[in-house]
Structure 1
């Protein structure tokens, strides 16, 4: 069985309340230093101007980031009407100004309905989407025309409310891959005046909430006291909404060596289930077939 090296840092999940002006990479780099774990990544980018929940996965938990990203997200923010930017947010260059028509709740409800459900959304030109092997934002920064294809995303809930002159508050609950900047841009076009996203805050990612996230100064204080681990969640928190399978000693050894074995408890077929030993140790992620056999998908080292 593969053993974890003594020099490895901790495994787990850290919820960070990202401040404005920081890139998601900046936050990950900071956390990496504070907790002493070189292996770290985030489960879903937030743009530099945005704030709120950034789920940082550390050590072996980086292999679970995809499961976190697959869940729905909740955001709130503010849209400025009548001003279009090249990035569809407040950090971009203004490329058009148009008069804003009178907007009432009836009009806002109508527009919200247009962008609720499964919709075809074109990502912003300044995005990480790849075009012919290159990031769209790299091409855009070189002044090249970026042609992006609309793709289906799902918006479960969209609320628009007036917020002062030529401004709207936006509340969104959406599936993975949804660009809130694109929503703001498209809402502006639907209202006939253009728009951009002026602020954005992520409130939730799957079961993780911003209320439970740590501010950077709090993490610095804990690290200074040698207690950075206090802020971390166990890696299996990323999968608590998945079924679990428990393996006895023979099954545990088989799983850790990459082999299929029957679960010691009844478990429904699943593409991804949490797998534990009878001692409660988290062993990783397994796919369970109709016969109750567990196929290793992600194996965690002891």
Structure 2
């Protein structure tokens, strides 16, 4: 099931008028997919910016055009020489920040056309590398007999695990492709908190204020209607701390979300405003 199909399923089951998700999953992937309903759809773009965590299975010695098991095999190579020590070294070299080339089979648009559409048409075009950050890259399991391994990844937004797997295969000199992928965390949301799409009865909806790690600022009740009407106010009027440089949540005295905002000059600008 695609991420869009999952959103539509939840929307129908819960009777929501609006719904969106906070980060697309690969077609073969399972795991955490944050879904926003109603006013919470205004938060989706901030969930996209969240760091992610994954577990991925890969097989050494086989490369595919999609970089995963859904694709056509493009090259095979003997991987019997690869040792656990070599894998550990390859993983260590990929930790930290580096430039990653997005796969051709991806939803990124280039020239107004999604890359996967060009790939299906047999095109291979030049792509712009993107800066990504790998905070964790650990070996969980390795079977030398089958050249199968499982890895754990903590990474920044925009990281393509398929591309990371292919890069690891290249570093080991034998190629690789991803066979399974599970997202275990997306921002504050973990797999332990996730609900199966087939078991939605009695599901607890998470309040918007718990959906993000953005700093929180509580404003006096008298300013809430002014914020919702778009009236710009000075940071000191809203008691915004001087050391808050990023986007933050404005909450009313009851703890309800009023706006996602940021400071520009001597004004608080409202990126998103929420109505009760």
TM-score normalised per structure 1: 0.84
Query: Residues 25-44 of structure 1 correspond to what in structure 2 (within 5 A)?
Result: 25-44=4-23
Instruction: Tell me how far 1:267 sits from its aligned partner.
Output: 6.5
Runs of 4+ with deviation above 6 angstroms:
none
- How many residue pairs match? The answer is 271
2:137 — aligned with what? 158
Q: CA deviation at 1:266?
A: 5.0
Match of 1:299 in 2: 273
Distance in 1 separating the partners of 2:192 and 2:114: 33
1:265/1:126 Cα in 2 relative to 1: closer, same or farther (>3 Å)? closer
Q: Which residue of 2 aligns with 1:285?
A: 260
1:129-165 deviations in Å (ceiling 9; x for gaps): 1121100000111112232222211111111341352
Residue 105 of structure 1 deviates from its aligned partner by: 2.6
Look up the match of 2:207.
234
Contact between 1:243 and 1:267, CA under 8 Å: does it hold in 2? Answer: no
Does residue 183 of structure 1 match 2:161? Answer: no
CA contact under 8 A between 2:99 and 2:129: conserved in structure 1? yes
Could you tell me how far 1:264 is from its partner in structure 2? 4.8
Pair 265,121 (structure 1): closer, same or farther in 2 beyond 3 Å: closer
Does residue 199 (structure 1) correspond to residue 199 (structure 2)? The answer is: no
What are the Cα deviations for residues 17-36 of structure 1, in whole angstroms up to 9, with x where unaligned? xxxxx111110110110111
Partner of 2:115: 136
- Matches for 1:205-244 after TM superposition, within 5 Å: 205-219=186-200, 222=201, 227=202, 230-239=203-212, 241-244=213-216
Aligned to 1:18: none
Report the counterpart of residue 260 of structure 1 in structure 2. Answer: 232
Give deviations 1:15-63, integer Å, cap 9, x for gaps. Answer: xxxxxxx111110110110111131111111112111000111112111
Q: Choose 267-276 or 145-154, whichever is displaced more.
A: 267-276
Deviations, residues 222-281 of structure 1 (Å, cap 9, x unaligned): 1xxxx4xx4311122222x22212222331121111112321575743331111112332
* Residues 273 and 288 in structure 1, CA contact (< 8 A), matched pair in contact too: no
Structure 2 partner of 1:251: 223
TM-score calculated relative to the size of structure 2: 0.92
1:111 and 1:190 in contact (8 A); partners too? yes
In structure 1, list runs of 5 or more residues that go unmatched: 1-21
RMSD (CA atoms): 1.8
State how far apart, in whole Å, the 1-side matches of 2:47 and 2:255 are. Answer: 22
Q: CA deviation at 1:126?
A: 0.3
